[in-house]
Amino acid sequence: MKKWLITSLSLVMTAALASGCGGSSGNGDTSPNSEAGSGGTTGKKTELVFWGDWGGEGQKQFQTMVDAFNQSQDKIHVKYVLQQDMITKFLTAATSGGAPDVLFWDRWRTSLYAPKNVLHPVDEYLARDGITKDDFYSESLKELSYNDKLYGLPLTVDARALFYNKKLLAEAGLQPPKTWDELEAAAAKLTKWNGDKLEVAGFSMADLGLFNMYLQQAGGTMLTEDGKTNFNNEQGKQVLEFWERLMNKNKVYKVGFELGLGEGQDAFVTGKVAMLYSGPWMLSTYNKYGKDLEYGIVPPPAGPNGDKASVMGGFGLVIPEGSKHHDEAWEFIKWWTANKDNALLWAKTSLNLPGFKPSMEDPFFQDDPQWKPFLDTLEFAKIRPSHPGYSVMETDALAPNLQLHQQNKQSIEETLKKAQEQGDKMLKDNEVVK
């Protein structure tokens, strides 16, 4: 992706600044309940506080966007404030005053915190400014919604795709797999053992959190419509049978393999893992540190009946209910997330896929083969269930049982049964947000 190295950020910023605040309603806030400072009658700017928990390079990326917005108009000034333990501080501020005006938001949290009335809905703003939801991935909007109310706009979208080592596949005479059967066969052929020592894992199976994706590929869903677990069934069994064949029959991976390679020895970069699932957030790392790594990316292989699936994640920008400047906060969010030029500036600055679909039409994405597999995958990727207890269920009920199964300490039947029983209890205990 050579263009990442040659893109002139200053030129992009110039284009973004020329676009103004974006959206169809213009730059400023003209609502009757805005402060005089934002309407220009006193000449003072409205000061907005933007909280986020990205430091380091992420903080620089945020600051680029904040600076561009501040220079694009003269009514609002945004200040980015890095926060550690941000959610705890936000909940305290929401009840005691001092809430920020804009919040960087992991979208899956919406179903947990929207019921607490700490977020401000934005549906009226979209209608007022003529912003169409079709310009965003529907799944990302769903993840920012609760009880038919939308609480923000997506800033980034991502999904898992299959990364593969081109050299290793070429040496084995293989093409990138498109189905589970092809994945299994390729992984087996790519694996190299030296006695009882695994030298090259054909396929990484380190991330048990991908069970959701595999289950969808098997034609299943994690939860039923009435909020109960839905994996102790034939689809869940198919996933674990597939995992068992990979681990025990084909021996394409060994538990803890990637952890034992030493600090700084990324298994994919060093050729110790031939294939793995990962997301666009790893592109810059592999391009920067994998100088000798030739890799390709394809959408996730389809399951036994041809079902395609991946899990969509990402972040958004939301307005806390406790903000004293809802309208101005919306102007900032709209400028950043609902304007093609500004969303593209964000993409080139952060190397993230933006949530605004029109920006994906730019040659930056369309002419770069590394982006295409992710764009294709996003067309069918689904978010995690929005049940308030889902994350607890997955972390504390499903994952420990999957780990026991992978370690050959628990059968498929026992694993699914225990995960169901424990998971259903956790879902019920957490179905009402307090």
Strand order in the sheet with 353-354: 312-313, 156-159, 353-354
Q: How far is CA 393 from the centre of its chain?
A: 19
SS3 of residue 48 by DSSP: strand
- Whether residue 167 is predicted with pLDDT greater than 50 in this model: the reply is yes
Q: Tell me which of 209-213, 264-268, 366-370, 387-391 is least confident.
A: 264-268
**So what's the pLDDT on residue 367?**
92
Range in 37-51, 200-214, 275-289, 307-321 with the lowest mean pLDDT? 37-51
pLDDT tens sequence across 115-160: 999 999 999 999 999 999 999 999 999 999 999 999 999 999 999 9
User: What is the mean pLDDT of the segment spanning 70-99?
Assistant: 95
Q: Is 47 helix (H, G, I), strand (E, B) or coil?
A: strand
- Contact by Cβ (8 Å): 82, 53: yes
Q: What percent of the chain has pLDDT over 90?
A: 82
Classify domain 161-310+386-429 by CATH number.
3.40.190.10
Amino acid at 7: T
What's the CA gap between 430 and 205, in Å, rounded?
30
List the structure tokens of 37: 């400072």
Confidence bin at 36 (pLDDT 50/70/90):
very low
| Confidence (pLDDT) at 397 | 98
pLDDT higher than threshold 80 for residue 6: no
Tell me whether domains 3-158+313-378 and 161-310+386-429 share a fold: yes
370-380 pLDDT per residue, tens: 999 999 999 99
What is 3-158+313-378's CATH topology? D-Maltodextrin-Binding Protein; domain 2 (3.40.190)
Question: Which are the contacts of 392, defined by CB distance < 8 A and separation ≥ 6?
Answer: 426, 430
Please state the separation of Cα 276 from the chain's center in Å. Answer: 17
**Which residue blocks in 144-198 are alpha helix, DSSP H?**
166-171, 180-190
pLDDT surpasses 50 at 20: no
Q: Exposed, middle or buried by CB within 10 Å (0-12, 13-18, 19+), for 28?
A: buried
Q: What confidence category does residue 261 fall into, taking pLDDT thresholds of 50, 70 and 90?
A: low
Confidence of residue 15 (pLDDT cuts 50, 70, 90): very low
Rounded CA gap, 276 and 407, in Å? 20
- Domain map (residue ranges) of the chain: 3-158+313-378, 161-310+386-429
Q: Parallel, antiparallel, or unpaired for β 46-52 and 76-82?
A: parallel
* pLDDT, position 260: 67
Q: What angle do CA 32, 38, 44 make, to 5 degrees?
A: 140
Residue 154 exposed, middle or buried by CB count within 10 Å (0-12, 13-18, 19+)? buried
